A and B are shown apart, each in its own frame.
Chain A
Amino acid sequence: MLRILLKKEVKELLMERSILFGAIIIPLIIFPLMGALTGLGMSAAMERAEAGLVIGIADLDRTSLTSIELPRLLEEKGLRLIRVECSLEEECVEAAAKQDLGVMMIIPSGFTRNFTSGVHSRITTVYSIRSAAISEISMSQRFSLILLESFKSLAERVHGGGVDPRFFEKPISESSVVLYLGRVLRAPVSAVAATFLTTLFGLPLVAVMVASYASTVSATSIALEKESKTLELLLTIPARRITILLSKLLGTFVIVLLSTISFLVGFGIYGLMIAGSMMAQILVEEIAAEPQVSLTLLDLWPSPAFLPILVSSIFIAMVMMTCIGLLIGVLGSDVRSAQQLVGAVTFPLIMPPFFILIFTPIESLPIGVKIGLLLDPFTHLFLAIHSGFAGDIASAITSIMVMLGFAVMLLLLSSWLFMGERLITTRITLARRRASEA
Chain B
Amino acid sequence: MWTRNARGKAWRSCGLKPVMASGLIKRFGSSNVLRGVSFEVERSEIFGLIGPNGAGKTTTLRILATILRPDAGDAVIMGHSVRDEPDEVRRNIAYLPEDAGVYRHLTGLEFLSFVAGVHGVDRRCVEEGAEIAGLGEALRKPMGSYSKGMRRRIMIAAILMLRPRVAILDEPTSGLDVIHAVHVRERIRRFARESGGTVIVSSHNMLEIEYLCDRIAFINGGRIIAEGRPEELKAEHRAENLEEVFAKLMGAA
Chain A residues, Cβ within 8 Å of B119: 237-238
A232 to B62, Cβ gap below 8 A? yes
Query: What are the interface flags for A218-239 relative to B under an 8 Å C-beta threshold, 1 for contact and 0 otherwise?
Result: 0000000001111011011111
Chain A residues, Cβ within 8 Å of B115: 237
A152 to B90: give the CA distance in the assembly, Å. 84
Identify the closest chain A residue to B164 (Cβ). Answer: A238
Identify the closest chain B residue to A227 (Cβ). Answer: B101
A434 to chain B minimum Cβ distance, whole angstroms, is 14
B95 to A233, Cβ gap below 8 A? yes
A199 to chain B minimum Cβ distance, whole angstroms, is 40
Query: What are the interface flags for A414-438 relative to B under an 8 Å C-beta threshold, 1 for contact and 0 otherwise?
Result: 0000001100110000000000000
A238 to B120, Cβ gap below 8 A? yes
Q: Which of B91, B101, B104 contacts A238 (CB 8 A)?
A: B91
- Number of A positions contacting B (CB below 8 A): 16
Chain B residues, Cβ within 8 Å of A239: 90, 118
Q: Which of A228, A230, A232, A238 contacts B67 (CB 8 A)?
A: A232
Chain B residues, Cβ within 8 Å of A229: 97, 99-101
- Number of B positions contacting A (CB below 8 A): 25
Chain B residues, Cβ within 8 Å of A227: 101
Q: Is B40 an interface residue (CB 8 A)?
A: no
Q: Is A72 an interface residue (CB 8 A)?
A: no
Query: What are the interface flags for B91-112 relative to A under an 8 Å C-beta threshold, 1 for contact and 0 otherwise?
Result: 1011101011111100000000
A237 to B120: give the CA distance in the assembly, Å. 10
Q: Is A240 an interface residue (CB 8 A)?
A: yes
A425 to B28, Cβ gap below 8 A? yes
Chain A residues, Cβ within 8 Å of B103: 228, 230
A236 to B93, Cβ gap below 8 A? yes
Q: Which of A232, A238, A421 contacts B87 (CB 8 A)?
A: A238
A236 to B162: give the CA distance in the assembly, Å. 13
Given A230-B101, A236-B93, A239-B118; A421-B69 close (CB under 8 Å): yes
Q: Is B65 an interface residue (CB 8 A)?
A: yes
Identify the closest chain A residue to B104 (Cβ). Answer: A228
A191 to chain B minimum Cβ distance, whole angstroms, is 49
A236 to B68, Cβ gap below 8 A? no
Q: Is B66 an interface residue (CB 8 A)?
A: yes
B95 to A240, Cβ gap below 8 A? no
A236 to B65, Cβ gap below 8 A? yes
A420 to B69, Cβ gap below 8 A? yes
Most buried by A among B67, B100, B120: B67
A228 to B65, Cβ gap below 8 A? no
B28 to A236, Cβ gap below 8 A? no
Given A236-B65, A240-B87; A230-B102 close (CB under 8 Å): yes
A235 to B67, Cβ gap below 8 A? yes
Most buried by B among A228, A238, A239, A240: A238
A229 to B99: give the CA distance in the assembly, Å. 7
Chain B residues, Cβ within 8 Å of A425: 28, 68
Chain B residues, Cβ within 8 Å of A421: 67-69
A228 to B69, Cβ gap below 8 A? no
- Interface of chain B residues 110 through 165 with chain A (CB within 8 A): 115, 118-120, 155
A132 to B217: give the CA distance in the assembly, Å. 73
Query: What are the interface flags for A227-271 relative to B under an 8 Å C-beta threshold, 1 for contact and 0 otherwise?
Result: 111101101111110000000000000000000000000000000
Chain A residues, Cβ within 8 Å of B62: 232, 424
A424 to B97: give the CA distance in the assembly, Å. 13
A233 to B69, Cβ gap below 8 A? no
Chain B residues, Cβ within 8 Å of A424: 62, 67-68
- Interface of chain A residues 61 through 112 with chain B (CB within 8 A): none
Query: What are the interface flags for A2-34 relative to B under an 8 Å C-beta threshold, 1 for contact and 0 otherwise?
Result: 000000000000000000000000000000000
Given A236-B66, A238-B90; A230-B95 close (CB under 8 Å): no
Q: Which of A228, A232, A237, A420 contacts B102 (CB 8 A)?
A: A228
A367 to chain B minimum Cβ distance, whole angstroms, is 43
Chain A residues, Cβ within 8 Å of B101: 227-230
Given A229-B99, A229-B101, A230-B100; A236-B118 close (CB under 8 Å): no
A363 to B28: give the CA distance in the assembly, Å. 50
Chain A residues, Cβ within 8 Å of B97: 229, 232-233
Chain B residues, Cβ within 8 Å of A420: 69
B65 to chain A minimum Cβ distance, whole angstroms, is 5
A230 to B158: give the CA distance in the assembly, Å. 13
Chain B residues, Cβ within 8 Å of A237: 90, 115, 118-119
B95 to A232, Cβ gap below 8 A? yes
A421 to chain B minimum Cβ distance, whole angstroms, is 5
- Interface of chain A residues 176 through 228 with chain B (CB within 8 A): 227-228
A232 to B90, Cβ gap below 8 A? no
A240 to B28: give the CA distance in the assembly, Å. 25
Most buried by A among B91, B101, B118: B101
A230 to B104: give the CA distance in the assembly, Å. 10
Chain A residues, Cβ within 8 Å of B118: 237-239
A232 to B65: give the CA distance in the assembly, Å. 9
A42 to B95: give the CA distance in the assembly, Å. 61
Identify the closest chain A residue to B26 (Cβ). Answer: A421
- Interface of chain A residues 131 through 190 with chain B (CB within 8 A): none
B170 to chain A minimum Cβ distance, whole angstroms, is 9
A192 to chain B minimum Cβ distance, whole angstroms, is 49
Chain B residues, Cβ within 8 Å of A235: 66-67
- A selection of 21 A-B contacts at a CB cut-off of 8 Å is A228-B102, A228-B103, A229-B101, A230-B100, A230-B101, A232-B62, A232-B65, A232-B67, A232-B97, A233-B100, A235-B66, A235-B67, A236-B93, A236-B94, A238-B91, A238-B120, A239-B90, A421-B67, A421-B68, A424-B62, A424-B68
Residues of B within 8 A of A (CB): 28, 62, 65-69, 87, 90-91, 93-95, 97, 99-104, 115, 118-120, 155
Residues of A within 8 A of B (CB): 227-230, 232-233, 235-240, 420-421, 424-425
4 closest cross-chain pairs (CB), A and B: A229-B101, A228-B101, A232-B97, A236-B95
Q: With A229-B99, A236-B67 given, can you name 9 additional A-B contacts, CB distance below 8 Å?
A: A229-B101, A230-B101, A232-B65, A232-B67, A233-B95, A237-B115, A238-B87, A238-B91, A239-B118
